[in-house]
Structure 1
């Protein structure tokens, strides 16, 4: 009997066959993790810088086109609504053609449109270009979440998504600050043009740095299969709650930051455009809170972190009602911290909960998230026009109460497994 066919050898082979395959997914400290994190961080920077490039400039756009606050606000709402409509079909393309391919194409088209935005001859043309830009960006958020869920080990997923969301906050902050000061000196058109050039640099670096996917398996583009996948996600009570939570958090954030420029440039503050844009430095708080979401979830659990995010946001809204610049700024700090902690927790929970069709699961979250942004921006501007700053704050407070109610229901449902 040869050694290979001996009982001992057979036993060894059997043990070898049952050994678990080594997990080759990325983990902090491992090869490729830093490149991946920085690449997606830059993608997040470009996405939010482009998506909200006009938000801090709305008073100047209103003056330039002779438009009301509610009309100018559509330069924000149109982009986020278009993203919400297109995110699901573009996420389906990522299932077939790959996450990195779709993300690259999305950024390429979005930055190209961004370079055309400064030349819009009228408000209608500007809104149309912004809608096209939002539609192009739709291929990035859900594909990025799916890429992370496939390429990063589960224990590191919340932290990795937190870094991507942190890139969103840096993009939103830098675009508004840079745009505000440039607009004060040279007008809003030059400001959005510079933001477009910055986004081009981010897009090029993203494509050069992002590691090729190693765990992606191409799926089907069949509409019936896509509908079945979407239906299974919508049938999951936990995912439905997470989708609604993301939408409600973003209603608050979208409403507050769409009208804050009007609030601060009017009496009693009467701040110049550059200073108004610099107010968005509070986004750094969002960078920190989203990056810390993983640690908060470990300590408090998902629902505990959502309660903390909602409570912080409520406190910020109440503080921002005080007609004092320090109180308004502190309120914005708390609103930003609470929103980003809640968003990072909810979005990472979607990726963790979905066991199949992760791109579609993330796309549904992104759809609801940006619907919330569109509604918050549009309705928040209407509320501001009708009742001033207190009207926008009141709308935000109602949305946060919705987050609390849904989370309370989730806590109750978790104690009754049969009801889930």
Structure 2
């Protein structure tokens, strides 16, 4: 609970241009990078897991799906735990632990041990995303928070892209266990830099852990049909997005493309297009409105899915790029809409949104493997298209509700 909420003096926020501002930006860029490099470093390795452990693609996707499912569950508690434990302390613990777990992967020689490590890793990573946002909300000057949040999110994007591409390139030269351990060493160094750089909280005030308050707050958010629609959009869109990236690698490693692991991983460079599109969607909303833009972004996702059905490699990459731009834009619209829609408990509303977001990743990301196994890429594309069409239906319901804008 902030000092303002308790009637206590509130320290002046950290302003742009000050040494403290630069320290916060460096620290939270490192936090975002470590979180997403350790979460997504296994995604391009799913075909490798399928071969090495002799499992079907759906089962091979579990190292990612289990981690995101655990992250989703942990995020429901992370904000409340940080109220008692402290923002800086909880983030530091989470970053150091996920780095050590990545290092421990070096000793993982069975699929079961890998899944166990990834389960714990997902749980500990829950101590960063929502807590980092809470720290920025408490400590930054009102005019500085947007730029600081933007740099934190850029750390997320760069970390996710680096983890996906870096692990694949390393695996061309090293065993996958060693590749992930190398990422763990880098992450541990960045975690220590985070601890050294992040200023102690000045406006954080301890609040005893209250499980009853947590559940009552979550219940209030689930009573709003508009928020339920936004949570549905998060589940469906993220499910389609992760399914596409989980199984496009299987397709491109197979004939007639027969690309190398590192070549396939370069497709994650289209994330840069997604980051660009999410950056400009705000101005488009101001011009055309949320109802129009949410429909357009979902149609763009659907169009991208259909283009990936082409046999030409450049067209496949182009389709992935179109889909990625649509997804990042839709996610930017829906996630900001949650804050506008929630009247109280905005942090809990955002936590529920992220819970559904990562559950979509876990459930659909694994389900897509069954479509790949039996129907190939057309089956995966059909599943993704159905998820996007369902998202369009949910958006239609949302726009018919009072105060949808």
Q: Normalising by structure 2, report the TM-score.
A: 0.88
Among 185, 190, 208, the residue aligned to 1:197: 185
Tell me which residue corresponds to 1:222.
Answer: 210
CA-CA distance at 1:304 after TM superposition = 4.1
CA-CA distance at 1:334 after TM superposition = 1.6
Deviations 1:9-38 (A, max 9, x none): xxxxxxxxxxxx999546766775554344
**2:41 touches 2:166 (CA, 8 Å); kept in 1?**
no
Tell me which residue corresponds to 1:329.
Answer: 317
Which structure: larger Rg?
1
For residue 319 of structure 2, give the secondary structure of its aligned residue in structure 1.
helix
For residue 185 of structure 1, give the secondary structure of its aligned residue in structure 2.
coil
Inter-CA distance 41–390: structure 2 relative to 1 (3 Å threshold): farther
CA-CA distance at 1:63 after TM superposition = 1.9
Among 91, 115, 130, the residue aligned to 1:142: 130
Provide the rounded CA distance (Å) in 2 between the counterparts of 1:140 and 1:203. Answer: 12
CA-CA distance at 1:399 after TM superposition = 1.6
Unaligned runs of 5+ in 1: 1-20
Provide the rounded CA distance (Å) in 2 between the counterparts of 1:343 and 1:27. Answer: 29
Tell me which residue corresponds to 1:16.
Answer: none
For residue 56 of structure 1, give the secondary structure of its aligned residue in structure 2.
helix
Tell me which residue corresponds to 1:345.
Answer: 333
- Number of residue-to-residue matches in the alignment: 397
Tell me which residue corresponds to 1:288.
Answer: 276
Deviations 1:265-312 (A, max 9, x none): 001111011101222111222232334444444444444443343222
Tell me which residue corresponds to 1:263.
Answer: 251
For residue 321 of structure 1, give the secondary structure of its aligned residue in structure 2.
coil
Provide the rounded CA distance (Å) in 2 between the counterparts of 1:192 and 1:31. Answer: 34
Residue 393 of structure 2 corresponds to residue 410 of structure 1: no
Tell me which residue corresponds to 2:4.
Answer: none
Tell me which residue corresponds to 2:225.
Answer: 237
Q: Relative to structure 2, which stretch is displaced further, 283-292 or 83-92?
A: 283-292
Tell me which residue corresponds to 1:13.
Answer: none
Provide the rounded CA distance (Å) in 2 between the counterparts of 1:163 and 1:352. Answer: 22
Residue 77 of structure 2 corresponds to residue 89 of structure 1: yes
Inter-CA distance 416–194: structure 2 relative to 1 (3 Å threshold): closer
Residue 354 of structure 2 corresponds to residue 366 of structure 1: yes
Inter-CA distance 320–306: structure 2 relative to 1 (3 Å threshold): same
CA-CA distance at 1:360 after TM superposition = 2.5
**1:56 touches 1:258 (CA, 8 Å); kept in 2?**
yes
Provide the rounded CA distance (Å) in 1 between the counterparts of 2:289 and 2:145. Answer: 15
CA-CA distance at 1:162 after TM superposition = 4.8
Unaligned runs of 5+ in 2: 1-8
Mapping for residues 18-417 of structure 1, pairs under 5 Å: 24-25=12-13, 32-151=20-139, 161-354=149-342, 356-414=344-402
Inter-CA distance 45–257: structure 2 relative to 1 (3 Å threshold): same
Inter-CA distance 58–257: structure 2 relative to 1 (3 Å threshold): same
**1:48 touches 1:171 (CA, 8 Å); kept in 2?**
yes
For residue 395 of structure 2, give the secondary structure of its aligned residue in structure 1.
helix
Inter-CA distance 295–209: structure 2 relative to 1 (3 Å threshold): farther
Inter-CA distance 293–235: structure 2 relative to 1 (3 Å threshold): same
Deviations 1:172-198 (A, max 9, x none): 211111111110122322221222222
Provide the rounded CA distance (Å) in 2 between the counterparts of 1:56 and 1:95. Answer: 36
Inter-CA distance 162–352: structure 2 relative to 1 (3 Å threshold): farther
Provide the rounded CA distance (Å) in 2 between the counterparts of 1:298 and 1:156. Answer: 22
Provide the rounded CA distance (Å) in 1 between the counterparts of 2:341 and 2:138. Answer: 13
For residue 194 of structure 2, give the secondary structure of its aligned residue in structure 1.
helix
Provide the rounded CA distance (Å) in 1 between the counterparts of 2:155 and 2:89. Answer: 20
Tell me which residue corresponds to 2:6.
Answer: none
Q: Relative to structure 2, which stretch is displaced further, 348-357 or 322-331?
A: 348-357
